[in-house]
Structure 1
Amino acid sequence: MAELLYRIGRFAARRHWTVVGAWLAVLAVTATTYVAFAGTLSSNITLPDTPTTRVSQQLERDFEGTGGGNGAIVAETTDGSAFTEEQERELADLFDRVAEVDDVADVTDPFATQQRLDESWDEVSEGEQQLAAGVAQLDGAQAQIDAGREALAEQRAQAREDGTLASVREQLAAAERQLDEGQAELDRQRAKVEEQSEQLEVGKSLTRLSVAYRSVSEDGSAAVANVTFDVAINEVSTEVKTEIEDLAADAGIDGVELHPSQDIAQTVPSILGPGEIAGVVVAAIVLTVMLGTLLGAALPLVTALLGVGVASLASLSFSGVVQFVSVTPVLGVMLGLAVGIDYSLFIINRHRRQLKQGADLHESIGLANGTSGNAVVFAGVTVIVALLALNVTGVGFLGLMGTVGAVAVLVAILMAVTLTPAILSLVGPRILRRRERGRLAAGERDDDDAITDRDKPMGTGRAWAVLALGVVGLLLVAAPATQMRLGLPDGSTQPPESSGFRAYDVQAEKFGEGFNGPLLVVADLPEAIGEDEVAREQANLGEAIDELGDVAAVVPIGASRDRTALAFQVVPDFWPSSESTEALVHGLRDLTPETVGGGEASLGVAGNASANIDISEQLSDALPLYLVLVVGLSLLILVLVFRSILVPLTATLGFVLSLLAAFGGITAIFQLGWFADAFGVHAPGPVLSFLPIIATGILFGLAMDYQLFLVSGMREAYAHGAPARVAVQHGLHAGRAVVTAAAIIMISVFAGFVFSHDATIKPIGFGLAFGVLLDAFVVRMLIIPAAMHLLGEKAWWLPRWLDRILPDVDVEGAGLERSHPTRAADGTARSDVGSDEGGQPLARHRAPARE
């Protein structure tokens, strides 16, 4: 690989305009395919075959008008007073216009709905009064009949006593028959009243269960119009949502503000905003400080931005075929910028070092590409493998995010090993500072690779102290991760000025927190019921649901076409992402209430809150498997690279520590609310459900990058004969400047996304920036050197049998350096390690013989 990259570097240096033109052509092609084939991005995250989707499919299949997606338009008066009749009429007209939009099945009039709700309660109260009056009349009639029977009995007794019983027998019998007929009629009336009483009790029960449900607030200052679509919410096009938003924005109703809910008003996050640009500016400053020239600083930025353009346009060209979640291209941009700058920087830094040692321009470009470029390819492939491994989680949108991220990294690698050499050839010696060019012209040569007194090993006591403090510090930072809960953003996490947040806030304040996350509950009955039994069964099951607790309202929706299932809307007491609502969803799914006719019903739950819970749980279940996969992969790769057992173990344990600490920081800020104001988190809640898996994959790849660029220098020095502990310090001193710059650039780019208004992008940006900060500066530059110092010679131990079967990947390109010694401009050959009379490399310091 090193020899191939050397040749590619030399070719790119000689044919620089061809390479530049080829990449510009690729950019033009991807731009064309994007314009021709790109589709719309979705703001909704869904998973197939979850409990929620199965219930949603049942609603769509078996119930009338309940299978489509739902949103809401929230209206409120600007002065907090009740709506006027004129405002109600104008709002009703607006909702009628919204109902005419494509894919909109229905829009409820909240004022008409609230009037029906109020009338139903009045009807129940009136029915109770009428029933009570009827019972009183029946009791009065019963009393009269009873009195008539008593009088008849007295007449019979008196006639017997007077001896006139025979003469009045027929008269008494007629009177008794009349009383019996009256009693029979009275019994019929009483049975009818009892039947009405039972129906009234059912109605009373249903009304009591749903009385808290409102479409207009109690003070009359806010109203919610439910928008029902013909298709699932994730299938509603951006054009439809935009048309609804425009109708609401242009309504022009005096004294009324309209807020489409998050389901309608969700927007695709911007790929490059002010925060992201600020991150690129910081990266430019770091590059300028390190490389010393504006021209040198511009090179990595140009290649990274061009690579991001190619990768993003190429990936989005498939968005018309595959559904893209809106965060997917942003992740690609985030990764493409960060690794694109870093990978180009590694090659440029190596090239500059060789030029200062007197190397020929084109030879130096080829060697830099074959050595540092080889390490770039290996490190980049590690990141790609970690990202592509997201597909093994079985979560479609997550696998797609990993694939798009992998494409961005692949393009960054290709840019680094082809376009960077071409531009370096164009720039020529100007990649060096003027002072450095002057020293080179005067015949001065740098020899930064020589082992000097600065490579003196650290003290063992200091090594133990650094190791202990580093590990304990990371564990303390990781402590909040023990309380991590996973979830997805809701309206409360949107920017405070956004329509989605205002809709959420008004509903929570005027109607109750649970109205932002109603649940759809379907009860499957043991057998079909009669049409006249539906209401009674609804009341029975509704009472069972209400008894679970933390339920604000239970509203019957209807029965399935074959009446084997009943549907309810259940409004929780608390907000959608609360632990209470999560417990309620699980409680409903576990509930098996007894039906009126005997047997047990089983309940299923759907709705946005339920879907978020299902997605979070599935991702949480996939995380341990993915973590084991990534950790196992890191061990295998590092054993292959460093030909050691203990070095990979320390590297992997260090990665796990930094990863857990990153999770702790994410949990502390975004869930527990620590320092929330500083990071613009106005509504702490559950951690983004797919963030732990995404962070694991990306941070693993980046951690291996830094491990490779630091520890490979240690291995190289040790292989050349330096004592193990001296080699540790030499490798650290040789690589820490470029790794520090690379880490700061990476952190700056990721941190730029922390200031995004999108609640999905913000925690991803923070998690990656914080994770890189901890891994680069605490793990790779403190803990790993301390651990390797303590291990000494044992750090490089490898069983002989394993040494024989492992291939020599030569990540550092040492073989290339031996076969292509750096050639100075005067034609003399140079080698970083010197050579004997036969041209074989010599070590500067030879360690005692090692087995």
Structure 2
Amino acid sequence: MSTLLYSLGRWSYRHPWRVLLGWLLILAAVGGAAAGLNKGFDNAFSIPGTEAQEGLSQLSRTFPQVSGTSAQFIVVAADGDDVTDAAYRDPIEDTVAALEDVPGVSSVTSPFDEMVTGMVSDDDSAAIVRLQFEGTMTDVTADDKESLHVVVDDLAEQLPEGAQTALGGELFATELPTITLTEAVGVIIALLVLIITFRSFVLAGLPLGIALIGVGVSLLGLVASTQWATVSATTPMLALMLGLAVGIDYSLFIAARHQDQLREGMDPEESAGRATGTAGSAVVFAGVTVLIALIGLGFANIPFLTTMGIAAAVAVAIAVMIAVTLTPAVLGFVKHRAIGRMPKPKKERAPRTGFAARWVGMVTRHPVVTTVAVVLGLGLMAAPVGSLALSLPNAGVLPKDNEARIGFDLTSEHFGAGFNGPLILTGTIVTSTDPLGLMNDLKDEVEAIDGVKEVALATPNETADTGIVQIVPETGPDDPATSELVRELRAHHDEWLDEYGIDLKVTGSTAVGIDISDRLGGALVPFGIFVVGLSFILLMIVFRSVWVPLKAALTYLLSILAAFGVVAAVFSWGWGADLLHVARTGPIIAFMPIVVMGVLFGLAMDYEVFLVSRMREDYVHAGRKKGFTRDVAVDAVRTGFAASARVVTAAAVIMFAVFAAFVPEGDSNLKPIALALAVGIAIDAFLVRMTLVPAVMALLGEKAWWMPRWLDRILPHFDIEGEAVERERALADWPEPGSTAVIAADDLEVAAEDTVLASGVTLRAEPGEALVLTSADPRSARAVGLAIAGRAIPSDGLLRVSGHLLPGRAAWVRAHVGLALLGAESATAARAVRDALRGGTRLVVVHGADALEPAARDQVAAVLRDARHALSPTELTVVLTGSDPRAAQILLSDAGWDAVQLHDVAAAPTHFEVNV
């Protein structure tokens, strides 16, 4: 990975215009797609497979008049007036008639209809008119909504002075989130932090500009995707918030490493490549952890949440791709100006220890005290989490001056909170001989249940095959008591099925919200196991340790609980609610915990990777010189922390600013998510990663990097520290400056598990030469051949193939070096060698040719001879491996090679050359 990114960084640095124009073309193409494919966002929530959703589906087929979205408006009489007076009743009836002509309205229920009850308040001070639409809220156009407003506004003008009207209901329960100037404050703070971090105005704008391009691509792509997918209005805001934060941070990490290297005197192009190969590797891994967390949202099996996770994951993926390509490209534009204002030379100022070094020194000197203090402090912050209540959004969380919120509050005041969240009990009554009597009996049964204020409507449909009972609870839609009422109604299912022969379902938007909340609650555990488990494995691969990923997972739990505790204190207890412009305390949006858990886990692992990877890098480098002792491990914690604290601090401040900017004036649904992320970032970065983690690492010492040998063998390697890049630079002139050798090996060792198959192998092969590798044990020669072909990892020594150092460049070697493993089937040998030579490869490794029958050997020789002539005699290099050197010599002689190198690659190697 690091070598691939190193090459990508250097190429991008050399071709900045190509990279920049490429991304701008992508931005323009996605923008054109968004303009042509946009179908708008949908705030309707659905959850297939639940009782509430099945009930709505049934109603859409048999009782369409009540299956679509609904709206209502309330009329409140002036003080001393009754809403039943002619001055109110006549205009309301006229308005009901006018609303029936509004496009999309399927039915309008007058409060004075003899078939309904409860639509006029007990004191006759208020009345409610209910409207039913034919489709979901997405099907209701902006023009249709405007027509409703016009009709209701006309009614307000006809009513006596002092009367009040407010339009609301399910259709207006949520509002589309918008970007305000407050969100721009986060971007301004990010720019200031970047200026301070880089000491350069030129370099400071680089991460911000790159992140904005990435966010533009992801958001426009999300708009275009509405042509095929249902996307909630909260989704683009989450993608914007997350994409902007990680986009700035990822570019920051690469640019900061580049600037440090430039100040040490490194060539700009080399520095851009190394920064992309080292810091870029950490960026890729950190991005992968965030992707895992976001894709894991699909565990809830809720379509809109899965879409939200995928959209945010795409935004993060684009942020990673643009960071590792456009960042080095822009560095190619600024060149030496990226150095910025250099700090004063040390000789001009008194030597002093930086704050990061002093901080980590204090933490690691008192690790037990630090650990206990942080854990207790976060435990106290998490204390309010038990009072955190969840629900789906309703008009009660909208700003107080919003008309739908006004209508919500007026309805609660005059009719009770339950009127804002009615429930529907529905079932097929086709077998009943007395549909009206049946519905009256059900009405009496339902009204006797605790928590039911009244039954507003109990009626069959026009064909008398489906009945509905509209229930008004005593409590509001987001009250836990309403959830209990839904469960109580469902508990009577079997009883009513036996008594009335009806399969009844509890549905309605309130019931859908309760089902979604229950589904989300049930998904938290499997989601957590998936995300934490998979990331635990990834962290083990990166850090080659068991304790480091275990510590990372446990400390994450402290961060998430503390973040939820702060959210509960604000939204449930009301602490600081006015300061943060929280419209109404109480339950928060139901999917907040699972979204925040996923996003915060990925971001927490970002800081874990950037801090601990530097600690591991210092530990590995120092341990090779001084030994892997406890003192070396603790010193690596201090030096690694001091080297990475500046950039991690800047990244955390930027993320906090971006998330916090969405809190004061943000969308009511996004506000608790943004607050949880902002608080979670601050807690995780400064209290957990930069305080608790160094303390725990100091307590563990060298044991922090322990891993069982068997586990170390089976886990793949992910070079996040950029060791392969460092190795390539150190061996740039090996085997010698200007070498043209196609194959070069010094003291090469190849092992399988604990068995050394070949060791001490030293080879040189120029273009056009032929090598024969033999040993008494055919496995030894085969192992060396596989290593040359990039299919086996050398366990020791040096190996360069076609100018590419292994194992770092194994992927390139595998793609460009042919390999033919010949078995007992002589008839297919020539075909296998021909396949290995496809694509114009100039180096091929053939194993087992010496064991072929003479006729098959002749065919293989003919294939090699033809390939050699097709290129030129000095371009094709062949390596034969096996146990019979004489047979191999004959084959190569027949193929046209005059000189052949023979190598015995056993454990005690010998080398000799034979001319054929």
Q: Same fold (TM over 0.5)?
A: yes
Matched residue, 1:4: 4
Aligned to 1:432: 339
Question: Could you tell me which of 454, 459, 477 is aligned with 1:553?
Answer: 454
Counterpart residue number, 2:420: 516
Q: 2:180 & 2:582 partners in 1: Cα distance?
A: 18
8 Å CA contact 2:451, 2:485 repeated in 1: yes
For 2:658 and 2:327, how far apart are their aligned partners in 1?
20
Q: Report the CA distance between 1:265 and its aligned residue.
A: 2.7
Q: How does 1:761-772 map to 2 (within 5 A)?
A: 761-772=670-681
Q: 1:570 aligns with which of 471, 486, 492?
A: 471
Are the counterparts in 1 of residues 206 and 327 from structure 2 also a CA contact under 8 Å? yes
Deviation at 1:331, TM superposition (A): 0.7
Please list, as runs of the form range in 1=range in 2, the aligned pairs for 1:116-155 lying within 5 A after superposition.
Answer: 116=114
Rg: which structure is higher?
A: 1
The match for 1:23 is 23
**In 1, are the aligned partners of 2:390 and 2:478 still within 8 Å (CA)?**
no
Q: Which secondary structure does the structure 1 equivalent of 2:118 belong to?
A: coil
- How far residue 766 of structure 1 moved from its aligned partner, in angstroms, is 0.6
Alignment correspondent of 1:777: 686
Aligned to 1:841: none
In the other structure, the counterpart of 2:247 is 340
Whole-Å Cα distance in 2 between the matches of residues 9 and 506 of structure 1? Answer: 61
Larger strand proportion of the pair: 2
Q: Hey, what does 2:157 align to over in structure 1?
A: 253
- Aligned counterparts of 1:678 and 1:75: Cα–Cα separation in 2: 33
Distance in structure 1 (CA, Å) of the matches to 2:263 and 2:76: 70
2:532 corresponds in structure 1 to: 631
Tell me the distance in 1 between the aligned counterparts of 2:502 and 2:539: 55
Cα distance 1:660–1:64, how it changes in 2: closer, same or farther (>3 A)?
closer
* Letter paired with 1:108: T
Distance (Å, rounded) in 2 between the aligned partners of 1:596 and 1:650: 53
Q: 1:563 Cα deviation (Å)?
A: 5.2
Which residue of structure 2 aligns with residue 581 of structure 1?
482
Residue aligning to 1:128: none
Aligned to 2:716: 807
Task: Please tell me whether residue 244 in structure 1 is matched to residue 148 in structure 2.
Answer: yes
Q: Say whether 1:760 aligns with 2:664.
A: no
Q: Which residue of 2 aligns with 1:301?
A: 208
Alignment match, 1:103: 104
State the match for 1:147 in structure 2. Answer: none
Separation in structure 2 between the aligned mates of residue 459 and residue 782 of structure 1, nearest angstrom: 7
Decide which of 748, 758, 768 is 2:657's aligned counterpart.
748
Task: Please state if 1:388 is matched with 2:388.
Answer: no
State the alpha-carbon separation in 2 of the partners of residues 805 and 591 from structure 1. 55
Q: CA deviation at 1:246?
A: 4.6
Deviation at 1:319, TM superposition (A): 0.5
Q: Which residue of 2 aligns with 1:214?
A: 118
CA RMSD after TM alignment: 3.0
Letter in 2 for 1:640: I
Give the residue type in structure 1 aligned to 2:451. Answer: D
Amino acid at match of 1:469: A
Is this contact kept in 1: 2:360–2:642, CA < 8 A?
no
Q: Structure 2: how far apart are the matches of 1:271 and 1:315?
A: 16
Q: Which residue of 1 aligns with 2:367?
A: 463
User: Mean alpha-carbon deviation: is it higher for 215-224 or for 377-386?
Assistant: 215-224
Check the 8 A contact 2:357/2:641 in 1, yes or no: no
1:480-531: per-residue Cα shift (whole Å, max 9, x none)? 2234332112111111011110110111111111111111112566x83323
1:456 deviation in Å?
A: 8.6
Q: Which runs of 4+ in 1 moved over 6 A?
A: 447-450, 452-456, 593-597
- CA distance in 2 between counterparts of 1:453 and 1:265 reads 55
Is 1:718 the counterpart of 2:622? The answer is: no
In the TM superposition, residue 264 of structure 1 has moved relative to its aligned partner by 2.6
Aligned to 2:276: 369
The alpha-carbon deviation at position 778 of structure 1 amounts to: 1.2
Distance 1:724 1:385, change over 3 A: same
Measured after TM superposition, the shift of residue 263 of structure 1 is 2.3
Please report how far the alpha carbon of residue 100 of structure 1 lies from its aligned counterpart in structure 2 after TM superposition: 1.9
Q: Matched residues in 2 for 1:70 and 1:475: separation?
A: 44
Q: CA deviation at 1:789?
A: 0.5
The answer to whether structure 1 residue 620 and structure 2 residue 521 are counterparts is yes
Q: Return the letter of the residue paired with 1:736.
A: A
State the Cα distance separating 1:633 from its structure 2 match: 1.2
- Shift in Å, 1:569: 1.1
- The match for 1:529 is 432
Q: Secondary structure at the match of 1:106?
A: strand
- The alpha-carbon deviation at position 780 of structure 1 amounts to 0.6
Q: Which residue of structure 2 lines up, in the alignment, with residue 201 of structure 1?
A: none
Give 3-state SS (helix, strand or coil) of 2:432's partner.
coil
**Aligned to 1:354, what secondary structure does the other structure show?**
helix
Q: Provide the C-alpha distance between the structure 2 equivalents of 1:744 and 1:810, rounded to a whole number of angstroms.
A: 28
Unmatched tracts of structure 2, length 5 or more:
624-631, 733-797, 799-916
| Distance in 2 of aligned mates of 1:757 and 1:222 | 33
Query: What is the DSSP-based 3-state SS (H/G/I as helix, E as strand, rest coil) of the residue aligned with 1:622?
Result: helix
TM-score (norm 2): 0.74
Query: Whose relative contact order is higher, 1 or 2, with alpha carbons under 8 Å and at least 6 apart?
Result: 1
| Bigger mean CA deviation after superposition, 665-674 or 247-256 | 247-256
Partner of 1:175: none
SS where residue 29 of structure 1 aligns?
helix
Distance 2:72 2:402 in 1: 15
Closer, same or farther in 2 for the Cα pair 1:280/1:598, shift >3 Å? closer
What secondary structure is seen at the aligned counterpart in 1 of 2:165?
strand
Q: Is the 8 A contact 1:40 1:237 kept in 2?
A: no
SS in 2 for 1:253: helix
Matched pairs, number: 719
Mark the CA change 1:224 to 1:809 in structure 2 (over 3 Å): closer, same or farther: same
Mapped contact 1:514–1:575 kept (Cα < 8 A): yes
- Report how far residue 458 of structure 1 moved: 4.9
Rounded to whole Å, the distance in 2 between the matches of 1:344 and 1:250 is: 55
Deviates more, 1:5-14 or 1:488-497: 5-14
| 1: CA distance, partners of 2:687 / 2:550 | 17
**Matched residue type, 1:504:** F
Contact 1:72-1:224 within 8 A present in 2 as well: yes
Match for 2:21: what amino acid? G
1:659 maps to 560
CA–CA distance in 2 between the matches of 1:269 and 1:64? Answer: 27
Gaps of at least 5 residues in structure 1 are 118-209, 824-837, 839-851
- Deviation per CA, 1:608-651: give whole Å up to 9, x if none: 22111001001111111000111101210110000011111111
Which amino acid counterpart does residue 587 of structure 1 have in structure 2? E
- Report if aligned partners of 1:538, 1:556 keep a CA contact under 8 Å in 2: no
After superposition, the Cα gap between the structure-2 partners of 1:252 and 1:485, relative to the gap in structure 1 and judged at 3 Å, is closer
Q: 1:61 to 1:791 in 2, by over 3 A?
A: same
Task: Quote how far apart the aligned CAs of 1:564 are.
Answer: 6.4
Q: Secondary structure at the match of 2:579?
A: helix
Amino acid of the structure 2 residue aligned with 1:276: E
What is the aligned partner in structure 1 of residue 176 from structure 2? Answer: 269
- Distance in 1 (alpha carbons) for counterparts of 2:246 and 2:267: 28
Query: What is the CA-CA distance between 1:561 and the residue it aligns to?
Result: 6.4
TM-score, length basis structure 1? 0.79
Question: 1:244 Cα deviation (Å)?
Answer: 2.5
**Amino acid in structure 2 at the alignment position of 1:519:** L
% identical aligned pairs: 38
Structure 2 vs 1, CA of residues 272 and 453 (structure 1 numbering), >3 Å: closer, same or farther? closer
Q: CA deviation at 1:804?
A: 2.2
Change (3 A) 1:477 1:656: same
Alignment match of 1:401 (pick from 308, 312, 327): 308
Residues 510/377 of structure 1: CA separation in 2 closer, same or farther (3 Å cut)? same
Q: Deviations over 1:724-778 (max 9, x none)?
A: 1111111111111111110111011011111234221101101111111111111
Retained in 2: the 8 A contact 1:495–1:757? no
Matched, 1:669 2:570: yes
Closer/same/farther in 2, CA of residues 570 and 290 from structure 1, 3 Å limit: same
Q: 1:737 aligns to what?
A: 646
Aligned to 2:607: 706
Residue 459 of structure 2 aligns to a residue whose secondary structure is strand
Q: 1:45 to 1:821 in 2, by over 3 A?
A: farther
What is aligned with 2:13? Answer: 13
Seen in structure 2, the aligned counterparts of structure 1 residues 631 and 559 have a Cα distance that, compared at 3 Å, is same
Amino acid at match of 2:291: I
Question: Secondary structure in 2 aligned to 1:231?
Answer: coil
- Distance in 1 (alpha carbons) for counterparts of 2:99 and 2:462: 29
* TM-fit CA distance, 1:335: 0.7
Equivalent position of 2:238 in the other structure: 331
